[in-house]
Amino acid sequence: MIQSRTHNCGELRLSDAGKQVTLVGWFENIRRVSKNLGFLILRDFYGTTQVVVETEEIMQQLDGVNKESTLSVTGTVRERSNKNTELPTGEVEVVPEKIEVLGKCIYNALPFEINQSAEADENTRLKYRYLDLRNPAVKNKIVLRSRIVSELRNKMTELGFLEITTPILTCSSPEGARDYLVPARNHPGKFYALPQAPQQFKQILMASGFDRYFQIAPCFRDEDARADRSPGEFYQLDMEMAFASQEDVFSVIEEVLPPVFEKYGVYHTASKAPFVRIPYLEAMEKYGSDKPDLRIDLVLTEATGILADCGFGPFEGQTVEAIVVDGFTATRKVIDGICAEVEVQTANKAFWFKLDEKGELVGGISKFLQDRKEAVIAALRLKPGDFVGLTAGKKAAALKTAGVLRRLLGAASEKHMKKDSYEFCWIVDFPMYEIGEESGELEFCHNPFSMPQGGMEALNSSDPLSILAYQYDLVCNGVELSSGAVRNHDPEIMIRAFELVGLGEDDVKAKFPAMYNAFCYGAPPHAGIAPGVDRMIMLICGEESIREIIPFPMNKNAMDVMMGAPAAVEQKQLDDVHIRICMPE
């Protein structure tokens, strides 16, 4: 017996026929045949059961009871005459002796039909999330999330990692996004910050003598929503290892993730260890992206030498990138749609032409290439029937645009995309520094706490833009799951690394006092990573939007429309924390 019921609504089978049972759940629907016959569907967390009302008295008890009210049904199990083989309980039904309303739904009309909630407007779904979650298809994703998180925990524990929670109220730290600030009541004018990541704490744990740490860590970043990024808060499988190299981190992730993806994923194959390692610069040159989808076998070819001076205006003086697709039979409408989508995503145009079966250049920009047809065919190694997608611009822009074009062409070509698998790779050897687009000054390219390849010697004697870091990204099916790094645990190297971006020793000590001081007492080499749990589960479920696998997500404007957050607070609350609001004019 569970609580006030003898069985749940997904449990009864033909072997239970003849038993008296009590079920509880939600009144999903009723089909009234007559005043003394009706077929009621009762639903709980576990499934549904058909209840056959066969008396006028009990039928009258249901008069005025709205759908989604909660009921207790006591009755006898019997074999169904019209079995439903698609339901686990489809061979039986319950004939009730007593029906009791436990919780009344006072509304005659629902915001949406429960079993079709996914078709409703997103803000309506989020406002009535408690109804949306009653939909078994929606609920099952949250159940799956729980099982995946439990499996990740078990696997990390089996590998000797300790789960340690780190503070939620901490200090502001430059992590690349805006902080959520919390005013400190007892310290007027000062603020806590919610952690963008447990970065400093986990590194301090390594300096404290812990060898292997992990947690399912909540992280808070005030940033805009995307399909694969939830605003406000998210969770990551945060881990760190002492006395560890890049390869040590790789070996753990390669052991933990593929079995989870294969066990729970919509695809049942995943990359085996070792994952492909691709240097950052090679990834950009070959795929036009530092998060390539390796299910697509298309690669970029630089065509500047053969096409930049062909007389086509957008190519003049620009880098030109080409993607050759054999066997691409898409219609002109599909091609135009792909080119339009490239422009939407990158603000840059894509171009194309074909080599037809007769060996002629046709379509797109082909009229500009007729005088060099043989040279173009030779340079791009074209065969009759090949399609060529093109992008142009400054090198970085041409590569980025070509990366988007490659992904869209791959998705539109069954021949060049292996859709039913999870393809992992590591992007390695990121530049340590870059020139900031806005500042025009030298800046850290990724994590400022990363160890530069070559150590102090590289920092002292090399062009900063040529220095690589022990930084790496984990990518799956074109989605970046995480960034990680071998950490810079040497105070002298750390100070020198920051000096190159204009921050001196005093700045380092002021911004990162605890971590810097901890490292001054003898820190081990250490490395870590933090794959995003929400993104992993989104991929495992085959969902396009990350909000589908979060129990209570915010909308695209970072609003919780169910709870009404963010919301105004009373003046006394502001006074307590010494805050005065100055609204923008």
Q: In what order do the strands lie in the sheet with 471-476?
A: 162-163, 212-221, 232-242, 526-529, 479-486, 471-476, 424-428, 276-279
Position 446 in a domain: yes
Domain CATH for 409: 3.30.1360.30
408 and 517, same domain (yes or no):
no
pLDDT band at 583 (very low <50, low <70, confident <90, very high): confident
337 and 447, same domain (yes or no):
no
Position 563 in a domain: no
One-letter amino acid at 481 equals: L
307 and 349, same domain (yes or no):
yes
* pTM attached to this predicted model: 0.91
> How deeply is 337 buried, as exposed, middle or buried, from its count of CB atoms within 10 A (0-12, 13-18, 19+)?
middle
Q: Which two tokens stand for residue 584?
A: 């923008």
Position 30 in a domain: yes
Answer yes or no: are the C-beta atoms of 479 and 228 closer than 8 Å.
yes
Number of helical (H) and strand (E) elements in the chain, helices listed first: 17, 22
Q: Which of the two residues, 192 and 419, has the higher pLDDT score?
A: 192
428 and 374, same domain (yes or no):
no
Residue-level pLDDT at 174: 63
Residue-level pLDDT at 2: 55
Q: Give me the DSSP letters along 194-250.
A: --S-SHHHHHHHHHTT--EEEEEEEEEEB---BTTB-SEEEEEEEEEEET--HHHHH
One-letter amino acid at 361 equals: L
Backbone angles phi, psi at 558, to 5 degrees: 60, 40
How many C-alpha atoms does 5 have within 13 Å on its Cβ side?
18
Residue-level pLDDT at 1: 47
Convert the pLDDT of each residue in 297-314 to its tens digit: 999 999 999 999 999 999
Convert the pLDDT of each residue in 68-111 to its tens digit: 999 999 999 999 999 999 999 999 999 999 999 999 999 999 99
Residue-level pLDDT at 175: 59
263 and 150, same domain (yes or no):
yes
Q: Give me the DSSP letters along 93-116.
A: EEEEEEEEEEE----SS-SS-GGG
439 and 396, same domain (yes or no):
no
Position 125 in a domain: no
Domain CATH for 83: 2.40.50.140
Position 219 in a domain: yes
353 and 329, same domain (yes or no):
yes
Convert the pLDDT of each residue in 166-219 to its tens digit: 999 998 876 568 899 999 999 999 999 999 999 999 999 999 999 999 999 999
One-letter amino acid at 310 equals: C
Mean pLDDT of 488-508: 93
145 and 86, same domain (yes or no):
no
Mean pLDDT for the chain overall: 94
- Single out the residue in 59, 83, 103 at which a domain terminates: 103
Convert the pLDDT of each residue in 120-160 to its tens digit: 999 999 999 999 999 999 999 999 999 999 999 999 999 99
Position 361 in a domain: yes
445 and 542, same domain (yes or no):
yes
Q: Which residues constitute the domain of residue 153?
A: 138-274+424-558
Answer yes or no: are the C-beta atoms of 11 and 46 closer than 8 Å.
yes
Position 337 in a domain: yes
Position 146 in a domain: yes
**Rg of the Cα trace of the chain?**
30
As a whole number of angstroms, the distance between CA 263 and CA 144 comes to 11
Closest of 351, 287, 289 to residue 315, by C-alpha:
351
- Single out the residue in 80, 103, 126 at which a domain terminates: 103
The total domain count for the chain is 3
399 and 458, same domain (yes or no):
no
Domain CATH for 161: 3.30.930.10
Q: Considering the chain, what percentage of its residues have pLDDT values greater than 90?
A: 89
As a whole number of angstroms, the distance between CA 228 and CA 218 comes to 16
152 and 205, same domain (yes or no):
yes
3-state secondary structure of 580: coil
Beta bridge partners of 42: 27, 49
As a whole number of angstroms, the distance between CA 258 and CA 42 comes to 38
3-state secondary structure of 38: strand
345 and 265, same domain (yes or no):
no
Q: Which two tokens stand for residue 226?
A: 């995307």
